[in-house]
Structures are given as C-alpha cells and as structure tokens.
Structure 1
Amino acid sequence: MSLDFTVAIPTYNGATRLPKLLEKLLQQSNIKHLNWEIIIVDNNSKDATAKIVESEINNWQYSYPLKYYFEAEQGAAFARQRAVREARGELIFFLDDDNLPDTNWLAAAYIFGKEHPKAGAYSGQIHGAFEGEPPENFDKIKQFLAIREHGDKPHLFDADSLRLPPAAALVVRKQAWLESVPSRPFLTGKLPGVMVQGDDYEPLLYIHKAGWEIWYNPAMHTYHQIPQWRLERGYLLTLARGCGLATCSLRMVDVKNSQKPIIILRTILGNLRRVAFHFIKYRQQLKTDLIAAFEMEFFLGSLFSPFLFLKTSLNRRK
C-alpha cells in the first residue's frame, strides 16, 4: 500500500547525529492524520550507525515504522537511489543526518506537494547552525554549504542556470524520480579522498528536463549543523574545487552528443576568463582573503571540469 510520504535519511558515519534527528521527527506537528514511514539508508558506515539504528528500532513504539537499509556502494547518490527504491511514500522527504527540521517541516512539505501536483521536487529554507564563527563575507559562499534563504515567497528554481536546491532537505515526487532519473548516476557524491560534488543537482536536472517543476517553498525550515572544521580554510577550498569540478558534467545532463563539444568549449573559455579577471582583481588578497580564494578555487575547478567529464566518460565505456 502506498503511503502519504516517506522520510528518507541517507547517512554515513551518522551514529552521533541520527538520534537528534529522530528526536526532531518525533516532535513534528499536524501530521497525525497521515500515513508515513522513516527509512535510514546506511551508506557503508564504519562507526556504530547500524547498532544505533537497531537500538532505535527495538525500542520503537510509534504507529509509523522506522526501517534500516544498508547500501554498500559508496556515494550519496547511491544511497538516494536506494531510498527511492525502498520508499513506499508518494512523496519522499530527504533529510541529511545533520539537517534538523522545524516542528512544522513535514506538514508544510506535505501540503505544498498536494497543492503543486506538477512539482517533481522542492525545497525550503535551510539555515546555518554554526559551531563556530563563519569567516568574514561568508554570505557570498553560504550556498555551497547547503544554506539557502531565498525570501518568503514561493518561486520556481532556474534549473537551466544550475540554480537548484541541495539534497540536504529536499522533497521529491517518487513518480517524477522513477520516470526521469537513470538508475546509475554520473556523479556519485563525495568518496574517500574525492570531493567532486554535483550529485545533489544531477537527478534534479533529469526531473526538470522531463517537464516537472522544481520549487522553493519558504514555509519549510531546517537547520544545517555545521561544525567548526567545515569553516576552516582547508576544507572550504577543497569544497570549492569539488563543486567547480562538477560544472561540465551537470551541463551535459540529457544533452545531445552534437552539443557536447560546444558545451566543453564554452566551459573552458568562460572559466579562463573568470580565472583571469579574478586573479587580476584579487591577486594581492588570495592568501589572506578566504572568500576570494574560495571563488578562485571554484573557477579553477570549473575550468578543469571538462577534462574530468571526458575522463569519467571514457572510464564508464571501458
């Protein structure tokens, strides 16, 4: 039997974070009349995640079930694919294990989905909950840490310009995903030693190109828990490069082979220009201004992204 919605939590080494998220889900309001479930997809964790979830399941006393699935293929994209396969809900509410929902998040998400039947995916406001003080001018790059505050009016995302919501607190319509998204992603998500991003956006681009709408719903509020180490220079610059490296691969989603050389050329020339102008403007501050250095790393990653796309494409053909 199909349920109203599924809350899907992909996790990797989330033993210390999952209990707090489950507690937040138990505090949700205005959903007693709905049929739903919680599924946790353990993406090959090395910590006590499985034991923590097993303990939660053994002590579970609620009408909506809590289920555990193990996904051995590493990468957030594979964990999301597994969640979609296992979900019984018409709507799938993805929550990262470090993204805590407001008490009305589930109700607001469900209502929006019912009011917008053409919405294949939608997200809301994601606020930062910082362990430490963000760097100066952090607002310029906060979207790279899945912080999204786009005002108080609903609107469609500009998917053609790669302006899309992250997967941290994303709702997808199961029908839209199954009809549109390939079973094998091109971008897999972060792997040990590899920080290439873009796995959030790839399925959304397929959903958009299949004719579904992608919305911003400001009534949905979540809070992204950001530890101090994610605000340090080394991590941020690695993140910036990883986001940039996904640029060309994302622009190649569902395009004809005849268009690919043009996209590659435009990506290289456009980012050569951005790198040159940024260096001229900030060359004296790149070692001291973290935000300027972050932007340079993103531009460099975008410049090299066509070569990563070509390499990955060749490896997939072997």
Structure 2
Amino acid sequence: MTKDKFTIVIPTYNGANKLPKLLDRLQQQTGLENQQWEILVIDNNSHDNTAEVVKTYQEKWGENSNLKYYLEPEQGSAFARLRGAREAKGELIGFIDDDCIPAPDWIAAACTFAAQYPQAGAFSGQIHGDFDIPPPPDLEFKKIQAFLAIREHGNNPLKFNPDTLNLPPAAALVVRQQAFSNSVPPRPVLVGRVGNSMLGGEDYELLLYLHKAGWEIWYNPAMHSYHHIPQNRLEKQYLLTLAHACGLATCHLRMLNASPGQKPIIFTKTLLGNLRRWLKHYIKYRGKLDNNLIAACENEFFWGSLLSNWDYLTKDK
C-alpha cells in the first residue's frame, strides 16, 4: 500500500549553479520504495537559467518525473514557501534551501519522526556546516554558527520553545500540510531578505503561527543536512551584518501572536530586555570588539535586537 505523498519544496533565487547538486542528492534518497513523493522548485524571479536547469532534469528523469517547476513572481522567500505549500500534494512538506544538501535518508527519517510525534506541526534536524574554507578554530565559533543556519543540538529529540524564540531555521524544515494550511495566513509580515534589506525572521514567523494554533515544534536528530557556507560568508563584515539583521526581527516576531492589549507590555519588555542585554555585553567587551569576532557578532545581534523596537514602529503595517 502506497503511503501519503511527501513534498520537497525548494525556494530558489538565481540558484542555477546550486540546484544540480541538490537535485542529484534528492534522487539518491533511500528507503522510499513505498513512498510517493514529489519535488517542487519555486523560482522566485531568478535572472539566471534556473528554469532551464529544472527543465533539463525533468527531461532526464522522463515523463514520470516527480520534479515540477513554478515561478513565484512576488519577491521574498516567504512568498516562495507559501507558493510551495499551496502547490504541494504531500501530507508532509520538506522545505530545503537550494544551498542545503540533505543526507540520503533525510525524507525517510522525516516520515518516521512524523509518525512517532503526531503533535509535531513542524520539525527540523541537524544542520551541519559545509565550509569552503575552515571556520575560525576558536571553539567559541559555535556561539554564532546559528546565524549561518547551522544547528547541532545533540542526539536526542527535543521540543523547541517558541515563547523564547528558540526555533529552527527553514533551511531544512518539515511542516505538516494540515498545520500549515490551518495556521499560516496568506500574507506574511516578514517576507525575507529582499533587495538591500537583510531583515529576516520569515521562517520563525511561520513557526510562531503553528505554535499559536497549538502545534509543537521539534528537533529530530536523525535528520542530517549540510548547509553550504562559501568563503565570503565567513568574512567579518558579512557576519556582522547578518547578526545585526537577525536581531532586527526580534520585536516583529514577539508581536506576531500578541493581542492589541498585550502589545504595549511586550513592546516595553522587549525594549528594556534588549537594552539590558546590549549594555551588559558592551560593557564586558568594550575596547575588545575590533579584535574579537565572536563578541562583535554578539554585540551586533544585541544592538539589532534593541533597534528592532524602532524598526517595528517604522515598518509599514
């Protein structure tokens, strides 16, 4: 008896050079002999030959290909994921970024976990760094690797705490179709990094809606994927900008599920809490930030979190 479908959704922007490696790996998935599944490439207005790359793979895989292509004209990774969810036929939707390569048993491990944890509306696994050059040897690099969507929480399942924004990234994330369709609104507040804006948080926004609807968010250590980190993403300026941008979404995220009466209280607590964190960190590392990359990144994250209140007030609602 054939099991329900599993849908892989790949949001991509100018991903022609990255998609072949990912598509090849997906075709090498194991343990799916009795599993119907499909791959959806959601092209978010690419200016390269992404469409041609997908067409080539469709022709190579033949008329029974499980690979489909969709163009999403509204810019932003949030819109690409929403489009993928609308087109998906699977009971489970696996969102995979075009620069993230899943292990051969990634889909099988996801299906097993979903059956064991029916209350999990979404779950992610171990996301390892696939570095072009070795990262800084300092063990403290682990403090900032989450900014690069690297997550390694050990070998035991655990439940994330959305109330503290303790959540997985969407680089390799599985969501139940039922949870998504019943919880996520058609228009996101945070759309992803578009143009010159580095404001993120759109993946957390999705998960916070699921949390509000009563679903749990879990970590499945049996799912492994490898996030490609090119050399430029280890450069100091990129890391500082990324850390600042991650912090900048803080107030937006804390306000998502708040009622009108709760918002002034949450706004004040967020402002004072972030001010305290930034001051404490800045005083501790004052005069050392130029020579301590880890401390400088943490400082930018705290500073961005503090400015998130202002960004929330000034962002078009």
| TM range, smaller chain | over 0.9
Partner of 1:75: 76
Q: How many residues align?
A: 314
Cα distance in 1 for residues equivalent to 2:38 and 2:175: 15
2:79–2:191 CA contact under 8 A, matched in 1? yes
Provide the residue aligned with 1:218 in structure 2: 221
Q: Does 1:92 align with 2:93?
A: yes
SS at match of 2:301: helix
Q: How far 1:263 sits from its partner (Å)?
A: 1.2
Q: Which runs of 5+ in 1 are unaligned?
A: none
Unaligned runs of 5+ in 2: none
**Bigger shift: 219-228 or 260-269?**
260-269
Q: Is 1:270 paired with 2:270? A: no
For 1:265 and 1:138, the matched residues in 2 are separated by 32
Please report how far the alpha carbon of residue 62 of structure 1 lies from its aligned counterpart in structure 2 after TM superposition.
Answer: 7.6
SS of equivalent to 2:156: coil
Q: Deviations along 1:211-262, whole A, 9 cap, x unmatched?
A: 1111111000001110000010111111011101100011011111111111
Aligned-pair CA distance for 1:28 = 0.8
Does residue 174 in structure 1 map to residue 177 in structure 2? yes
User: Per the alignment, do residues 234 and 62 of structure 1 end up closer, same or farther by CA in structure 2, a change over 3 Å counting?
Assistant: farther
Q: CA deviation at 1:133?
A: 2.2
Shift of 1:61: 3.0
Post-superposition shift, 1:115? 2.0
Q: Can you list the C-alpha shifts for 1:176-219, whole angstroms capped at 9, x where unaligned?
A: 01111111110111011100111110010110110111111100
In structure 2, what is the equivalent of residue 121 of structure 1? Answer: 122
1:161 aligns with 2:164: yes
CA RMSD of aligned residues (A): 1.4
**What does residue range 103-142 of structure 1 map to in structure 2 within 5 Å?**
103-135=104-136, 136=138, 137-142=140-145
Q: Is the contact made by 1:128 and 1:147 (CA closer than 8 Å) also made in structure 2?
A: yes
Identity %: 58
Match of 1:145 in 2: 148
Taking the TM superposition and a 5 Å limit, the aligned residue runs for 1:1-318 are 3-61=4-62, 63-135=64-136, 136=138, 137-312=140-315, 315-316=316-317
> What is the CA distance between 1:112 and its match in structure 2?
1.0
User: Shift of the alpha carbon at 1:99?
Assistant: 0.6
Q: Which amino acid aligns with 1:202?
A: E
Query: How far apart in 2 are the matches of 1:242 and 1:73?
Result: 22
SS in 1 for 2:70: strand
CA contact (8 A) 1:41 1:82 kept: yes
Letter matched to residue 248 of structure 2? L
Equivalents in 1 of 2:203, 2:108: separation in Å?
Answer: 23
Equivalent position amino acid for 2:229 in 1: I
Answer whether contact 2:124 2:173 (CA < 8 A) is retained: yes
SS in structure 2 at match of 1:200: helix
2:287 is aligned with what amino acid?
Q
Query: 1:128 Cα deviation (Å)?
Result: 0.5
Q: CA deviation at 1:284?
A: 1.5
**In 2, Cα distance between the equivalents of 1:256 and 1:172?**
25
Is the Cα contact below 8 Å between 1:10 and 1:80 reproduced in 2?
A: yes
Structure 1 runs of 4+ aligned residues shifted over 6 Å read none
Offset, 1:64: 5.0
Query: In the TM superposition, what is the alpha-carbon distance from 1:288 to its structure 2 partner?
Result: 1.1
